[in-house]
Structure 1
Amino acid sequence: MSMEDEEAIEGEHLLSQECKNMIISLPRERGWRTRYLYFFQDFWCQSAEIQSITKFQNHFQAKDTDIIIATIPKSGTTWLKALAFAIANRGRFAPSEKNHPLLTSNSHALVPFLEYTVYGGRFDHVPDLSNMVEPRLFGTHIPYHSLAKSIKDSNCKIIYICRNPLDTVVSTWIFINKIKPEYLPTLTLEEAFEMYCEGKIGYGPSWNHMLGYWNESTARPEKILFLKYEDLKKDTIFHAKKLGEFLGCPFTIEEENNGLIESIIKLCSFENMRELEVNKSGTFASNFENKYLFRKAQIGDWINYFSPSMVEKLSKILQEKLNGSGLSFEVLHS
């Protein structure tokens, strides 16, 4: 491996030589928060993610009680993790308790990412997850086709959420420019938009990511619950009840009458989580500050950024890519 190849691979000191050799053989393009994205298993990802995903695929053993929160980045991941954790663990932690874990820990710490937190780090470290309290909750951005075989074969539950791609592009662009290394140039909105339209974004193309989970959810609705961020925002109570039913822990009439659902929603709300000290000053795995996870949480903010021609271009791409699938997004005209 040449010196140039070594320097192109971020975090190369954490990677095995086998992984480095594989990475340099992969197609690569300009990255968003790293120098390059690599095309691995039919999706784009960063070099360090390739190793952690491989470790995850080789070692993760799913349990039937596991809950997997699968998402496209910047589509409501932080919120959905909080809701799922609070609903699944309401027997252990009442949302009104002053010592509820969500008041002192970011939801990403309570529902760790498989590819970052659990299987991240050095190539020779494989975690022991056998003693985790059940139900075990994990998060991931990994496309469905690249999930560990044990997840697909077990009776564990997968909750998936996506968002109107126009909002996703804006949210990702703003987020990346806040957390990217100083040695990388600032990404313009036009550059980010073109990269997204070409499918060259982390875990993208995004339409393939969505379709992978969408198609599986239609085939196995008892296995995968497919959500849209916009729907969750518009009727959070309905979807909180739906989450409870899907996870096998439906809310009782007594819980509903006592306002438990509303208490959980308030605890996990954007307004509440944004003001917590852990989300004002804490950090996510030392990679960036938690405060960058909370921006606006609005639907349709893209209208303040995109020109009509940009909206038309992405709308046509989405219509073509999603055609015939039954999955669609409302696009308002600017």
Structure 2
Amino acid sequence: MADNELPMNVREDKVSEETKKLISSLPKDKDCHGNLCKYQGCWYYYNTLQAVINFQKHFQPQDTDIILASSPKSGTTWLKALTVALLERSKHDDDDDPLNHHPLLSDNPHGLVPFFENNLYLKSSTPDLTKYSSSSSSSSPRLFATHMPLHTLKEGLKGSPCKIVFMCRNAKDALISLWYFRCKYQKLEATRSILESMFESLCRGATFYGPFWDQILSYWRGSLKIREPCAQLKRLAEFLGCPFTEEEEEKGGVNKILELCSLGSLSDMEINKTGKNVNGVDYKFYFRKGEVGDSRNHLTPEMERRIDMIFEEKLRGSGLSF
């Protein structure tokens, strides 16, 4: 794939002269896309680094902002969909058709909840953020997303008490999802050689937004582990300030949102079959299996043991395990 056909966030055509000077002083590496540089402990493509710097310098947070943070290919689409559905539910609670005119039917979760560094600040150092609230009401919180580690994100939040929700996933399953995702949008066959190259990058920590273990450790104390969907969805709603009422629970409101935001439901929506994101990636590529443990079907036992040993060492003493 030619450089100008790659998603904008992995290219090098938006970098300022000032950032080029910074990049010249940073540690560097490469992956299957191209050049990476390490900034504040995290690896970025050059355009993405420019967007991170734009965000840190220019973002003006509001106390009611909600930031959805995640590791790449770790349930990000699902987390965005759940959050939109929670905040929008009072406006779409029609007795005959509770999903009538729901925003998830007309836009992909990534269109509704933009990334700071892969969307907004990638295109402009001062993007228009007025449309990114959960409804047209000015009192509704603005919704944003990021893959940045917490210390880098906080530099742009400037002490704001806004809410941050973090989603992470077993690194082996995230690796397989990323392998399929990249091969799909690059129009490549998902070969073993590509997987093995990505595996080696993961193991040495030189991956986009990596090292994986440092990224998740930066958020660990504030993270949510989605293991019991109903209970955790209610916990998320309470954290976001929109708890379910007893009446909503009695009417099955929790299960309605889980059904709306399920992998099957989202992938079957027309917008997600035909639409593309701002970087030109088909929305359909964001939906595959969503299964825990699918990595066993692709990684050798030796590869699994190597990843397990690395993460056991890197996460030792943190209280976090997979």
TM-score, structure 1 length as denominator? 0.85
Cα drift, residue 131 of structure 1: 6.6
Output the CA distance in 1 between the equivalents of 2:130 and 2:278: 22
Structural mapping, 1:158-177, within 5 Å: 158-177=164-183
2:31–2:201 contact (8 Å) kept in structure 1: no
Q: Deviations over 1:139-197 (max 9, x none)?
A: 10001010143536222111100001110111111211222387xx9952211111101
Q: Deviations over 1:228-267 (max 9, x none)?
A: 3xxx2x4211111011111111101001011111111111
Q: Structure 2, unaligned stretches of length 5 or more?
A: 1-8, 134-139
Output the CA distance in 2 between the equivalents of 1:22 and 1:119: 18
Structure 1 residues 43, 149: CA separation in 2 closer, same or farther (over 3 Å shift)? closer
1:11–1:48 contact (8 Å) kept in structure 2: yes
SS in 2 for 1:91: helix
1:60–1:148 contact (8 Å) kept in structure 2: no
SS in 2 for 1:283: coil
Output the CA distance in 2 between the equivalents of 1:142 and 1:132: 19
Q: Deviations over 1:27-76 (max 9, x none)?
A: 221123x2111111111111101110001001112112111000000000
The percentage of counterpart residues that share the same residue type is 43
Output the CA distance in 2 between the equivalents of 1:323 and 1:65: 35
Instruction: Look up the equivalent residue of 2:23 and give its one-letter code.
Output: I
Output the CA distance in 1 between the equivalents of 2:289 and 2:158: 34
1:197 paired with 2:190, answer: no
Match of 1:296 in 2: 289
Greater than 3 Å deviation, 4+ residue runs = 9-13, 130-133
Output the CA distance in 1 between the equivalents of 2:53 and 2:304: 36
Q: How many residues align?
A: 303
1:173–1:187 contact (8 Å) kept in structure 2: no
1:37–1:45 contact (8 Å) kept in structure 2: yes
Q: Deviations over 1:80-108 (max 9, x none)?
A: 00001111222223382321000110001
Output the CA distance in 1 between the equivalents of 2:56 and 2:187: 29
Instruction: Look up the equivalent residue of 2:155 and give its one-letter code.
Output: K
Q: Structure 1, unaligned stretches of length 5 or more?
A: 1-8, 218-225, 330-334
SS in 2 for 1:63: coil
Output the CA distance in 1 between the equivalents of 2:214 and 2:13: 31
Match of 1:227 in 2: 224
1:59 paired with 2:63, answer: no
Structure 1 residues 93, 120: CA separation in 2 closer, same or farther (over 3 Å shift)? farther
1:83 paired with 2:74, answer: no
Match of 2:15 in 1: 15
Instruction: Look up the equivalent residue of 2:63 and give its one-letter code.
Output: D
Structural mapping, 1:2-41, within 5 Å: 11-32=11-32, 34-41=33-40
Structure 1 residues 264, 209: CA separation in 2 closer, same or farther (over 3 Å shift)? same
Output the CA distance in 2 between the equivalents of 1:237 and 1:100: 21
SS in 2 for 1:86: helix
TM-score, structure 2 length as denominator? 0.88
Match of 1:105 in 2: 107
1:56–1:148 contact (8 Å) kept in structure 2: no
Structural mapping, 1:1-334, within 5 Å: 11-32=11-32, 34-94=33-93, 96-122=98-124, 125-129=125-129, 132-133=132-133, 134-149=140-155, 151=157, 153-180=159-186, 188-215=194-221, 217=222, 226-228=223-225, 232=226, 234-329=227-322
Q: CA RMSD in A?
A: 2.0
Instruction: Look up the equivalent residue of 1:86 and give its one-letter code.
Output: A
Output the CA distance in 1 between the equivalents of 2:13 and 2:241: 43
